Structure 1
Amino acid sequence: MGMVNMLEAKTSLSKLVEAVESGAEKEIIIARNGKPAARLVPLGQPKKRQLGLAEGKYPPLDYEAFQALDEEVAAMFLGKEK
């Protein structure tokens, strides 16, 4: 397929995208008036996020200890000494 003109790209966009997604075509150049104007390429695989990167780096905090920090946090926001 290689290069297609703008009209063909408009009428068969879903087929072009499918060809690129499936790997049948590495890339498709879309031309305007016979001159290359755009390149249709597949997106790379999305990066996988690794969960739990901070696990074990901070001491455990139970609900009561977390709630006890409310006054301290409020004082920081209000600029008051505790």
Structure 2
Amino acid sequence: MAGDGDEPEINSIHHRNLVYWALAEAFSIPDAETFDPQRSESARRRFELYFGLPADSDLRRITREDAPHLNRHFWI
């Protein structure tokens, strides 16, 4: 967000649920004051409940396997 007119890429209706990812990451840092694996897992589950499970690299590869791979060239 560099300029005054910039808007976030993720729609604003999803912003309040993004906090669960931040909480999961914050509580998973091995620190004496903030480390809490139960709260981290709880926040991660709430995030995944709303946004879904993350796609792994094998799933991405399989879904792109049938798509034609094209390279475009251009002259400078």
TM-score by length of 2: 0.25
Higher helix share: 2
TM-score by length of 1: 0.23
Higher strand share: 1
